[in-house]
Chain A
Amino acid sequence: MNHAPPSSTPRKTALDAVHRALGATMTDFAGWDMPLRYGSERDEHTAVRTRAGLFDLSHMGEITVSGPAAGALLDYALVGNIGSVAVGRARYTMICQEDGGILDDLIVYRLGEDTYMVVANASNAQTVLDALTGRAAGFDAEVRDDRDAYALLAVQGPQSPGILGKLTDADLDGLKYYAGLPGTVAGVPALIARTGYTGEDGFELFVEPRYAEGLWRALTEAGEGAGLVPCGLSCRDTLRLEAGMPLYGNELSTALTPFDAGLGRVVKFDKTSNGGAFVGREALEAAAERAAGTPPRKLVGLIADGRRVPRAGYRVVADGTPVGEVTSGAPSPTLGRPVAMAYVDASHAAPGTPGVTVDIRGSQEPYEVVALPFYKRQK
């Protein structure tokens, strides 16, 4: 096992040679050398919205939790009601500190009665692994670092069921959103999950790294007639931004609770295991009360009148007074205008609040406050 190499030598995924052959522009992301884009990131974005895109997401961190008390451990360690997730289903959840601050947002797949796979952000995988390992004391459960056990490929977009259907006998029609089951894709064993981070229908395929290249080629071939293109992290970011999905490090941090981020719904106080105890419970109860009363700031969407693009850290200003801060911003290919997510004082967070601007390098650019998301797919 080879973990946490020095930051000067980013890790390469099993698909590195494929990316280079495709002429990808690479970027260092959370210690990994990842494809940023292959050609135009706007074209890649549009392909996912209208046809299909193929992503290498092997930087994501997989952690397997197994044993008779695996569910009870996750109920204690995470904010969600994980023990109640049905086998074959997945749940979006978070792991918090004792003070309620968010350590990471996660997807947890229940692979079997006593087996779960936790998928953490690359930048937080070690933190999550350490926290889970620490919190496992006293539970009859094993926490295993499986970061090297999986490559992760994603096929996202309206054409993805047809493309994947050519390569597997698995019942994709029966596979609901946020479900995942083991199967065979292009002749190799894979965990097939109907999840993603794009706002579109799509699949994530967890496979052994030695199968990654063959699977990439098979998917590329199967997607040829359907307009599938390889997609980098740049369009993944604009896709998730349009879909109003938070990114750890931008919208989420240890300084914020899930309630501060408008995601209090992921916190379940009605857990039955461990007498209802879980890490962060007391702080989160207080945070829930604050959020229900007078929240200091809210996460909102902003849409530009003009064409200058807000970036993370830019100030939101009304009547010359700072009222918030942009956490993510980009030109939205779907809307054709710059958009941003921002934490804004409750007094200026209502959709349509007049006079809200973003300070873009000294110039106050008018922005419309809207509810998130910016984009929702038609089902």
Chain B
Amino acid sequence: MSNPQQLRYTKEHEWLSTPEDGVATVGITEFAANALGDVVFAQLPEVGDTVTAGEACGELESTKSVSDLYAPVTGEVVETNQDVVDDPSLVNSAPYEGGWLFKVRVAEEPGELLTADEYQDFSGN
């Protein structure tokens, strides 16, 4: 499993892109997608919602379980991925690309975001 070097990661297995014009993209890691199994339903935050770093902002349902989706940063949601709502299996097939979940205008970043190497060590992969 390889986690893109340019992304940063959380211990809740989300990834965050480098903000462009203050807006960062959020998804879940390949490790998390594999652990969930086939994702069948994604409940994403809504555009305009303010999400708070470390707090649940949605959920992902798979065949076997449901998992909360945590916001990696605090900020306003500016876009959600309708493709994933229509076809949640994108989270499994392309977690770092077509399976992204939402975009957030970053207001505040927590200090503990991990680099790809740190996340690799953390997730044991």
Using a CB–CB cutoff of 8 Å, the interface residues on chain A facing chain B are: 25, 36-37, 40-42, 234, 238, 307-309, 311, 330-331, 338, 361
Decide if A331 touches B40 in the complex (CB within 8 Å): yes
- In the bound assembly, the distance between CA atoms of A72 and B40 in angstroms comes to 49
Q: Which stretch of B5-13, B15-23, B61-69, B111-119 is in the interface?
A: B61-69
A-B contact pairs, 14 of them (CB 8 A): A25-B34, A25-B37, A36-B64, A40-B37, A40-B89, A40-B92, A41-B63, A41-B64, A234-B63, A307-B41, A308-B61, A311-B65, A338-B40, A361-B59
From the candidates B41, B43, B59, B92, name the one contacting A331 in the complex (CB within 8 A).
B41
Interfacial residues of chain B within 11-61, with CB under 8 A of chain A in the complex: 34, 37-38, 40-41, 43, 59, 61
CA distance A37 to B38 in the complex (A): 10
Which residues 69-106 of B have a CB within 8 angstroms of A? 89, 92
**Cβ-neighbour of B37 out of A37, A307, A308, A361 (below 8 A):** A37
B61 engages A41 (CB within 8 Å): no
Could you count the A-B residue pairs with CB atoms below 8 Å apart for me: how many are there?
41
The answer on a CB contact under 8 Å between A234 and B37 is yes
Cβ of B43: which chain A residues have Cβ within 8 Å of it? 308
Bound-complex Cα distance A311 to B66 (A): 9
Report which of B40, B63, B64, B65 forms a contact with A307, defined as CB distance below 8 A.
B40
Task: Return chain A residues, CB-CB under 8 Å to B66.
Answer: 309, 311, 361
B34 touches A42 (CB 8 A): no
Q: Which single residue of chain B is at the shortest CB-CB distance from A360?
A: B66
B61 contacts A42, CB within 8 Å?
no
Contacts of A309 in B (CB 8 A): 40-41, 61, 66
Q: Which 10 A-B pairs have the closest CB atoms?
A: A331-B40, A307-B41, A42-B38, A309-B61, A41-B63, A40-B38, A41-B37, A41-B38, A330-B63, A234-B63
Taking the closest CB of chain B, its distance from the CB of A39, in whole angstroms, is 10
Q: Are A331 and B61 in contact (CB under 8 A)?
A: yes
**At the interface, is chain A mostly helix, strand, loop or mixed?**
mixed
CA of A40 to CA of B38, assembled, Å: 6
Which residues of B are found within 8 Å of A311, using beta-carbon distances? Answer: 65-66
B75 to chain A, nearest CB (A): 25
With the chains together, A41 CA to B38 CA distance in Å? Answer: 7
CA distance A113 to B66 in the complex (A): 50
A residues near B59, Cβ cutoff 8 Å = 361
A337 and chain B: residue at smallest CB distance: B40
Note all chain B residues with C-beta closer than 8 A to A308. Answer: 41, 43, 61
Shortest Cβ gap from A366 to chain B (Å): 15
In the assembled complex, which residues on chain B have CB atoms less than 8 Å from the CB atom of A330? 63-64
Instruction: Enumerate chain B residues within 8 angstroms of A307, measured Cβ to Cβ.
Output: 40-41, 61
A contact residues around B63 at 8 Å (CB): 41-42, 234, 238, 330-331
A40 contact set on B, CB distance < 8 A: 37-38, 89, 92
**Of all chain A residues, which has the CB nearest B43?**
A308
A307 to B40, CA, bound (A): 8
Provide the residues of chain A in CB contact with B65, threshold 8 Å: 311
Complex: A25 Cα to B34 Cα, angstroms: 9
- Which A residues touch B64, using CB under 8 A? 36, 41, 234, 330
CB distance from A239 to the nearest CB of B (A): 12
In Å, the complex CA distance between A273 and B61 comes to 51
Bound complex: CA of A234 vs CA of B64, how far in Å? 7
CB-defined contacts of A238 to chain B, threshold 8 Å:
63
B93 CB to nearest chain A CB (Å): 9
Tell me the nearest residue of chain A to B41, going by C-beta: A307
Most buried by A among B40, B41, B65, B89: B40
Q: What CA separation (Å) do A309 and B64 show in the bound complex?
A: 10
Q: How far is the CA of A309 from the CA of B65 in the complex (A)?
A: 9
Q: Contacts A234-B64, A331-B40, A331-B63 given; 5 further ones with Cβ under 8 A?
A: A25-B34, A37-B37, A307-B41, A311-B66, A330-B63
By CB atoms of chain B within 10 A, which of A25, A37, A309 has the most? A309
Task: Please give me the residue from chain B that is nearest to A238 by CB atom.
Answer: B63
How far apart are B110's CB and chain A's nearest CB, in angstroms?
26
Across the interface, name the chain A residue whose C-beta is closest to B37.
Answer: A41
What's the Cα separation between A320 and B92 when bound, in Å?
37
How far, in angstroms, from A311 to B62 measured CA to CA in the complex? 11
In the assembled complex, how far is the CB of residue A365 from the closest CB belonging to chain B, in whole angstroms?
11
User: Taking the nearest CB of chain A, how far is it from the CB of B8, in angstroms?
Assistant: 27
Chain B nearest CB, measured from A41 CB (Å): 5
Contacts of B41 in A (CB 8 A): 307-309, 331
B29 to chain A, nearest CB (A): 16
Bound-state Cα–Cα, A41 to B64, Å = 10
